[in-house]
Amino acid sequence: MSNHVTLSVVIPAFNESRTLALCVANVLAIADASLVLEIIIVDDGSMDNSLVIAQDLARQHPQISVIAQPVNRGKGAALREGFRKATGDLVAVQDADLEYDPADLKRLLDPLIAGKADVVLGSRFLSSGTHRVLYFWHSVANRILTLLSNMFTDLNLTDMETGYKVFRREAIQRIAIEENRFGVEPEVVAKMARQRLRIYETGISYHGRTYAEGKKIRLKDGFRALYSIVRYNAHWAPWPMQLAAYGFIGSAAAAVNWCLFMGLLAIGWDVRLAAPGAFVAAAWVNYALCVSLLFRHAVRWAPVGELVLFLLVVAAIGTVDWVTTTSLVGAGIAPGNAKLLATGVGFLLNFAGRRWIVFPEPSPQPWRPRDADRA
């Protein structure tokens, strides 16, 4: 970087007419001889006069530009547009509601300017500055979501849901944001971890709002955060977490396996035919759920090759299932119980076959900025 750093500050705003002007003024106040600002206000279909205020600010300050979303699409959608337009060396997120103090931004910049970090997160749970005392259960939910995210990403963050993040521009523009609402927070953390970015945290002050004062996050956003943690991490997470996620898939396939097996027996099929028939149907259910929910895509093989390999694994595990079921029935165990035991064995073998043979995920390579871009 040169003698000065250009910081692009993306400000998503939806119905923030009460605080937007003050927020921008506070951001402008952090500029100095070594820090040049580019401010990008993304009005997300506001129904008050936020857009008018933003456009007026842009006329007064040449470093401010405005993106007007025609309809409200959510914070993630606003950030996606703002990140795309950013041209600075570094990119920061600043919520327009002033729950986060722009004065803290400079401390977040230090590890980036020093060349130690690719991303710095501002943590509300590390001791620094003043904190407004608000909702206990919100803080519990934040800590639970952070813990779950850390289990999938193998990071040790203290505040995954923080809205205060500063990135090297090249790093954030490499991340394709898919979430439109508040699910963007766990999504970005998942994709940062996937790229093995150098991540730092620093304590920040926090001045939260009540719902009466305009706080927008709702219970449904918490459930979306849970979904986002699994969706954007599961296909490359540590194998114990993949096994836990596979529990849902394996249980669904196992239920199909057992129910169909018992149904085929009920209509007169021989156990030696009912066992493989039920297993094949369950295997297709398992494959569809693995592709769509857990592993999500072929990693090493083309789709045809992946399917052939999957069928070979299914054939091997199906043989184990058939031998186990028929042997247990022959030993006098009731067919339903025999099938349950065989399904339990198949569950573990199925996960191992998919995780390490059909859908192996190569180890992620750390992202590094070009030498010319290093601080």
User: Would you list the DSSP string of 175-222?
Assistant: S----SSTTHHHHHHHHHHHTT--EEEEE--B----TTTT----HHHH
Residues 6+ apart with CB under 8 A from 217: 182
Residue among 41, 87, 83 nearest 65 (CA): 41
Structural tokens at position 240: 């114990």
Structural tokens at position 363: 């180890």
- CA 55, CA 43: separation in Å to the nearest integer? 10
State the average pLDDT for the chain.
87
29: helix, strand or coil: coil
Is the confidence at residue 372, as pLDDT, over 50? no
Q: How far is CA 241 from CA 147, 148, 223, 246, 248, in A?
A: 13, 10, 19, 8, 12
4 phi and psi angles, rounded to 5 deg: -125, 160
Which range has highest mean pLDDT (74-78, 312-316, 368-372)?
Answer: 74-78
Residues 6+ apart with CB under 8 A from 103: 26, 29, 30
Residues 6+ apart with CB under 8 A from 243: 351, 355
- CA 375, CA 371: separation in Å to the nearest integer? 9
99: helix, strand or coil: coil
**What is the CA 35 to chain-centroid distance, rounded?**
31
- Give the residue-averaged pLDDT of 194-218: 78
Query: Which pLDDT belongs to residue 373?
Result: 45
Domain ranges of the chain: 5-233, 239-358
Query: Which pLDDT belongs to residue 290?
Result: 81
Query: Which pLDDT belongs to residue 128?
Result: 65
CA-CA-CA-CA torsion for 86, 92, 97, 100, nearest 10 degrees? -170
Structural tokens at position 349: 């073998």
- Give the residue-averaged pLDDT of 291-298: 69
154 phi and psi angles, rounded to 5 deg: 65, 35
Q: What is the pTM of this model?
A: 0.77
Flag the least confident range among 34-48, 230-244, 282-296. 282-296
Query: Which pLDDT belongs to residue 129?
Result: 67
Q: 10: which strand partners?
A: 40, 93
**What is the CA 202 to chain-centroid distance, rounded?**
21
Element (H, E) at 249: helix 239-266
Residue with tokens 């010319």, as numbered in its chain: 372
Render pLDDT for 253-265 as a digit per residue (tens, 0 to 9). 889 999 999 999 9
Other CB atoms closer than 10 Å to residue 57's CB: what's the count? 19
- CA 347, CA 36: separation in Å to the nearest integer? 57
- CA 112, CA 190: separation in Å to the nearest integer? 20
- CA 243, CA 136: separation in Å to the nearest integer? 32
- Give the residue-averaged pLDDT of 193-209: 88
Name the CATH superfamily, with its identifier, for domain 5-233: Spore Coat Polysaccharide Biosynthesis Protein SpsA; Chain A (3.90.550.10)
HSE (side-chain half, CA atoms, 13 Å) at 255: 5
- CA 147, CA 194: separation in Å to the nearest integer? 17
- Provide the percentage of residues in the chain whose pLDDT is more than 90: 57
303-330 vs 335-353: helix axis angle to the nearest 10?
Answer: 150
Render pLDDT for 325-369 as a digit per residue (tens, 0 to 9). 999 999 999 999 998 999 888 888 888 887 888 877 766 666 666
Q: 165: which strand partners?
A: 121
- CA 332, CA 329: separation in Å to the nearest integer? 5
- Give the residue-averaged pLDDT of 122-136: 74
Is the confidence at residue 370, as pLDDT, over 80? no
Structural tokens at position 229: 């943690």
- CA 196, CA 173: separation in Å to the nearest integer? 15
Q: Quick one: pLDDT band at residue 1, thresholds 50, 70, 90?
A: very low
Q: Quick one: pLDDT band at residue 209, thresholds 50, 70, 90?
A: low
User: Would you list the DSSP string of 110-155?
Assistant: HHHHTTS-SEEEEETTSS-S-B----HHHHHHHHHHHHHHHHHHT-
CA-CA-CA-CA torsion for 232, 238, 240, 243, nearest 10 degrees? 50
